[in-house]
A and B are shown apart, each in its own frame.
Chain A
Amino acid sequence: MAQHDWLGLKQELPRRRQLQLTVLSFVLPLVLWCVVSYVPWVWHPLIHITDPGAVDYFSEGLDIPRADFYKELAKAKAAGQALPAGYLVNPVYLPAPHKVACAFYTAFKTPPRLQDEPWLHQSLGHSIRTIFLGFLFSSLAGLPLGILCGSFRFFSKLQEPFIEFFRYLPAPAFGALCVAILGIDDAPKIAIIVIGTFFQQVLVISNSVRKVDPALIEAAQTLGASGWKIVRSVVIPASITDIYTDMRILLGWAWTYLIVAEVVGTMSGITLFINQQARYRNFDNVYAAIAMIGIIGLSTDMFLAWLGTILFPWKRKNRRSLALKREWFPLFDRPPVKPKAIPKSESEAHVAERIETA
């Protein structure tokens, strides 16, 4: 019954179908793009001139709006002059899928126009470095502060109201300030990413930490844990999976600040590449570069999701499905020691102590 139900409300789909739908989610927009690009009567508002004929302002290679072309064509026909010829095209800012696909390869192979300009892979590397450093610095401060705020009301009340205010200030607004203080190279860019990420990070993480089941803390208290021991051995492990998910989302956030950050000071990284290619009207390269950001982001996230299943084995639905063993990554749990043979007499004495001969 459930096997046939594609649209079951809140129902889990079989793995196969999930995969099919995942593929489809990428294929659908691609098909739409192909239709617009390859089916001549869909959109195609321009005509690419191959032969200007007798029309004096037409020249070969020019894109002319359809209406103008047909008007001139009719005029030329009426006058009995040489007819202009051409074919339907889309505007240059919407390249066809195959051109963008080629650009994925050629963009890496094409040397920069000027000697001191970076290659594409250098631009990408530069961007990734900026993101990584920005996120690292933000996390170094944001993670401990978030956990503190989530664990202790004292820190929460001391920090969060100001952070709440500050997170409404748009990070790019600090661009000029960052340049004035940190110069025009990478430092202000990293600072923008830190400003954009840090304040959200503290709030989101402290919220996740606050969601820890208070019953777990009470259980730990009745087992003799108190103060920092509770934070270390209950609060952090209990919220670590949520914090990990938060960090993944925040990393995506950092990417959105990247483009803004890279125009601060001297333009750099992937933003520089995109802007230059747009100026040269190589829009296929522009699309390829934008898609690369998406691919890097998505694959990082997928990698982190996979890493999560190894780091947090207790969240795994079926832990035998993965070849990697928990024992290799003892995050909070110590790996089991081979059972040491307890001398029989000793263990019996241990129990006997508690048994009352009633």
Chain B
Amino acid sequence: MSPNELKLPDYRELAPAVAARFEKIRQRPVILSIRDLKKSFGTNGSTHVVFDHLTTNIHRREFICAVGPSGCGKSTLARIVAGLDEASGGEVLLDGQAVAGPGPDRGMVFQGYTLFPWLTVRSNVMFGLQMSGKAPNTAEAEAREWLDMVGLSKFENSYPHELSGGMKQRVAIARALANNPRILIMDEPFGALDAQTRCQMQNYLLQIWKKVDVTILFITHDLDEAAFLSDRILVMGTNPGGVREFIENPVPRPRSAAQFISPEFLALKKRLEEHIHPPVETEAAEKLPMIKLTEAGDEVE
């Protein structure tokens, strides 16, 4: 049975506990404020506008997921917030200060692991601390704490190439968090992992997020992942590019895998599906003009 055939509640209906939580979040200070942000490629003549008039506020310790089809500019948004790309217009304010260039107050976790291969796991985590001029001994003690938190103390002397993909990404998270960033930007961090590891990593991430004072902007194309992790979901689209909707996630916390079949989850998922795969497109791609190349009676279905 597909979610479409189920009687689902409205995804905008929030349970009282969930609504109360959002009320509390709204009362927290705004960490990241995006004002009228615009990004376009190409020079005058043929410009391609990725998104325009993107305005939103993200509160302290919120978990925001950005989803959208490929090419909608969700990664570009993450890179602009991180300071790695320049916006074509508008501005990004972190704690009221305009963002210019990358800095340690905005940690980033990339899809490709980007650990420094010449450093041990511990030294990777120490990197940011040493860049900010901390004494080596303090940096080392703190790095150990962070490795403890992501459960990799045993591997502190290993090199990144000796770790699995999931472990590498945990080190990357520890490395980013060690700087005590105001916001952690994660650009499809689990995209390269297999399904089991990804699920495990999502649980790790929620655990870490609970323990650390950090706001998360999480870019993904996996709708389940977005629905499982987020407080709010920023849905972006193409043609024309921009924000389609900013959905408050109705699934109550604490989250667990059992919620994947809860009505709120399915309702949210259905809404996201409608945004990402408009019904018209799927119809057209359904029937393939295939000539049968097998013998009669030799059916697989």
The chain A residues found within 8 Å of chain B, CB to CB, are 213, 215-216, 218-225, 229, 233-234, 237-238, 240, 312-314, 319, 331-334, 336-337, 339-340, 342, 347, 350-351, 353-356
Most central of A219, A221, A336, A350 by chain B CB within 10 Å: A219
Q: In the complex the two chains form, is B131's CB within 8 Å of A223's CB?
A: yes
Q: Which of B61, B136, B141 has a CB less than 8 Å from the CB of A356?
A: B61
Determine if B112 and A233 form an interchain contact, defined as CB atoms under 8 angstroms apart: no
For the complex, give the distance between the alpha carbons of A170 and B116 in Å.
40
A333 near B140 (CB under 8 angstroms)?
A: no
Contact B128 A215 (CB under 8 A): no
Is B211 in contact with A225, judged by CB distance below 8 angstroms?
A: no
- Report if B123 contacts A (CB, 8 A): yes
- Give Cα A333–Cα B117 distance, bound, in whole angstroms: 11
User: Chain B's nearest CB lies how many Å from the CB of A136?
Assistant: 25
The residue on A at minimum CB distance from B61 is A356
Whether A234 contacts B179 in the complex (CB less than 8 A), given A351-B211, A355-B213, comes out as no
B26 to chain A, nearest CB (A): 15
What is the CB-to-nearest-CB distance from B175 to chain A, in angstroms, rounded to a whole number? Answer: 7
Distance in angstroms from A358 CB to nearest chain B CB is 8
Give Cα A342 to B144, complex, Å. 11
Question: What's the nearest-Cβ distance from chain B to residue A293, in Å?
Answer: 35
26 A-B pairs with C-beta separation under 8 A: A215-B112, A216-B116, A219-B110, A220-B127, A222-B83, A222-B106, A223-B127, A223-B175, A237-B119, A314-B159, A314-B161, A331-B118, A332-B119, A333-B119, A334-B136, A336-B140, A337-B140, A340-B137, A340-B141, A347-B141, A351-B145, A354-B180, A354-B211, A354-B213, A355-B212, A355-B213
Count of chain B residues near A, Cβ 8 A: 45
Q: Which of A218, A319, A332 contacts B118 (CB 8 A)?
A: A332
- For the complex, is B120 an interface residue (Cβ under 8 Å from A)? yes
Distance of B190 from chain A, by nearest CB (Å): 17
B98 in contact (CB, < 8 A): no
The answer on a CB contact under 8 Å between B159 and A313 is yes
Give bound CA distance, A218 to B213, whole Å. 24
B145–A350 touching, CB < 8 Å: yes
Shortest C-beta distance, A327 to chain B (Å), equals 9
Contacting residue for B127 out of A233, A238, A336, A356, CB 8 A? A233
User: Assuming A223-B127, A224-B179, A333-B120, what are 20 further A-B pairs, CB within 8 angstroms?
Assistant: A213-B114, A216-B114, A218-B108, A219-B114, A222-B83, A222-B106, A222-B176, A223-B107, A224-B131, A238-B116, A238-B118, A334-B123, A336-B120, A336-B156, A337-B136, A337-B137, A337-B140, A340-B141, A355-B212, A356-B61
Task: Assess whether B144 is in contact with A218, with CB atoms less than 8 Å apart.
Answer: no
**A225: contacting residue among B131, B141, B159, B176, CB under 8 A:** B131
How many angstroms between the C-alpha atoms of A354 and B156 in the bound complex? Answer: 23
B84 at the binding interface (Cβ < 8 Å): yes
B residues less than 8 Å from A234 (CB atoms) = 116
**Cα A333 to Cα B132 with chains together (Å):** 17
- Which residues 135-155 of B have a CB within 8 angstroms of A? 136-137, 140-142, 144-145
Q: Within residues 84 to 111 of chain B, which ones have a CB less than 8 A from any CB in chain A? A: 84, 101-104, 106-108, 110
Pairwise interchain contact A221-B84, C-beta atoms closer than 8 A = yes
B266–chain A nearest beta-carbon distance, Å: 27
Interface status of B82 (Cβ within 8 A of chain A): yes
User: Per a CB cutoff under 8 Å, which of B103, B145, B185 touches A224?
Assistant: B103
Q: Assess the B116–A224 pair: CB atoms within 8 A.
A: no
CA distance A356 to B59 in the complex (A): 14
- B120 cross-chain contacts in A, Cβ below 8 A: 333, 336
Q: Which residues of A contact B156 (CB under 8 A)?
A: 336
In the complex, A340→B108 CA distance in Å?
29
Check A218–B102 contact: CB distance below 8 A.
yes
A153 to chain B, nearest CB (A): 17
Please state if B128 and A224 are interface contacts (CB–CB under 8 Å): yes
Contact for A333 among B83, B102, B112, B118, CB less than 8 A: B118
Please report the C-alpha to C-alpha distance between residue A314 and residue B118 in the assembled complex, in whole angstroms.
6
> Is the CB–CB distance between A219 and B118 below 8 Å?
no
A339 to B103, CA, bound (A): 29
Is B110's CB under 8 angstroms from A336's CB?
A: no
B118 & A224 in contact (Cβ 8 Å cutoff): no
* Residue B157 interfacial (CB < 8 Å): yes
Residues of B within 8 A of A333 (CB): 118-120, 123
Q: Tell me if B132 and A224 are in contact (CB < 8 A).
A: yes
Residues in chain B near residue A237, CB distance under 8 A: 116, 118-119
Whether B122 sits at the interface, judged by CB under 8 Å, is yes
| Nearest opposing residue in chain B for A318, CB measure | B162
Residues of A within 8 A of B119 (CB): 237, 314, 332-333
* Distance between B291 CB and nearest chain A CB, rounded to angstroms: 34
Chain B contacts of A334 at CB under 8 A? Answer: 123, 136
A313 shortest CB reach to chain B, Å = 7
The 6 lowest CB-CB distance pairs between A and B, nearest first, are A224-B104, A223-B128, A221-B102, A222-B108, A219-B114, A224-B131
